[in-house]
């Protein structure tokens, strides 16, 4: 199985399980590597209720070490963070990047202005919003994140569809500018299987986006976005089929923010 690099810990306040259980699940799934990438702190604090605080970072580092100790050489454990792309965040991301010998950083868009649009708490805001405008804002923000050059992997590319609010017509009008920005950046994207278990009932990103990304030479990783040990490597066989159907034949492995390819 490919590596699973997008996974969480209870420090984000919406995941559960001990590191030993996650590692056991990764080994049982036959993963090449296991990466831990919890929601990074954001400033100013308190920012929201679904991420680590800056004061939690030492405990996060301890979690990583517990995972490595339990793995005992049976599977490589990689260290990452899932960082939110927010207005003016560049200096803070650079600060976080220097706080630990990370293997990779994931960049994600969860916020449009002050709205964490994928949070069920604010689901009602979708009914008050112009879906076309929200999608335009989202994809413009996603392209800006890619252009920053701060990240190794870009997370769940079409997360904006989570609650199944999708504008009509050919979605390439949103995809193509983002694909151009990602390709120019050299970042990888992820095929995130969590979407199959959300209201949209489709992995992130959609098959058409994957096809465009592959044609543009954008590399791919496959991720579970697990928040519980039972979700590690969830739906990976199906994701591999999707990736191959889009034209992918390789995924990536990361170590010390350097990457190498692995046959899919």
Instruction: Please enumerate in sequence order all residues whose Cβ is within 8 A of that of 67, keeping only pairs 6 or more positions apart, or say none.
Output: 19, 20, 22, 23, 34, 36, 77
d(CA 181, CA 191): 18
pLDDT tens digits, residue range 44-103?
Answer: 999 999 999 999 999 999 999 999 999 999 999 999 999 999 999 999 999 999 999 999
pLDDT given for residue 244 in this prediction: 98
* CATH classification code of 10-263: 3.20.20.140
Q: Which two tokens stand for residue 199?
A: 């209201």
d(CA 72, CA 59): 20
Residue 160: which pLDDT band, with cuts at 50, 70 and 90? very high
Residue 164: which pLDDT band, with cuts at 50, 70 and 90? very high
Domain ranges of the chain: 10-263
Query: pTM score, two decimals?
Result: 0.98
Q: Report residue 187: phi and psi, to 5°.
A: -70, 155
Residue 152: which pLDDT band, with cuts at 50, 70 and 90? very high
Instruction: Please enumerate in sequence order all residues whose Cβ is within 8 A of that of 23, keeping only pairs 6 or more positions apart, or say none.
Output: 34, 67, 70, 71, 75, 77
pLDDT tens digits, residue range 189-236?
Answer: 999 999 999 999 999 999 999 999 999 999 999 999 999 999 999 999
pLDDT tens digits, residue range 104-143?
Answer: 999 999 999 999 999 999 999 999 999 999 999 999 999 9
Beta bridge partners of 255: 258
Burial call 230-258: b when 16+ CB within 10 Å, e when fewer? ebbbbbbeebbebbeebebeebbbbeeee
Q: Which two tokens stand for residue 150?
A: 């701060």
């Amino acid at each position: 199985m490919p590596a699973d690099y997008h996974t969480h810990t209870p420090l984000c306040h919406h995941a559960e399980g001990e590191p030993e259980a996650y590692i056991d699940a990764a080994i049982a799934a036959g993963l090449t590597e296991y990466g831990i990438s919890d929601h990074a702190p954001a400033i100013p604090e308190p920012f929201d209720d679904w991420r680590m605080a800056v004061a939690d970072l030492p405990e996060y580092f301890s979690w990583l070490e517990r995972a490595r100790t339990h793995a005992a050489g049976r599977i490589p454990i990689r260290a990452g963070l899932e960082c939110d792309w927010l207005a003016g965040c560049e200096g803070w991301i650079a600060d976080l990047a220097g706080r630990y010998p990370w293997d990779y950083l994931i960049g994600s868009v969860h916020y449009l202005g002050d709205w964490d649009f994928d949070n069920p708490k604010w689901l009602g805001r979708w009914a008050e919003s112009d879906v076309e405008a929200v999608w335009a804002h989202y994809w413009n923000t996603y392209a800006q994140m890619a252009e920053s050059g701060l990240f190794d992997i870009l997370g769940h590319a079409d997360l904006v569809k989570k609650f199944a609010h999708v504008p009509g017509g050919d979605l390439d009008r949103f995809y193509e500018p983002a694909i151009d920005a990602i390709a120019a950046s050299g970042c990888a994207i992820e095929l995130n299987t969590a979407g199959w278990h959300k209201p949209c009932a489709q992995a992130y990103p959609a098959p058409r986006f994957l096809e465009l990304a592959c044609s543009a030479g954008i590399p791919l990783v496959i991720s579970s976005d697990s928040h519980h040990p039972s979700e590690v490597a969830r739906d990976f066989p199906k994701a591999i089929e999707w990736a191959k159907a889009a034209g992918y034949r390789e995924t990536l492995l990361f170590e010390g923010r350097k990457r190498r390819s692995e046959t899919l």
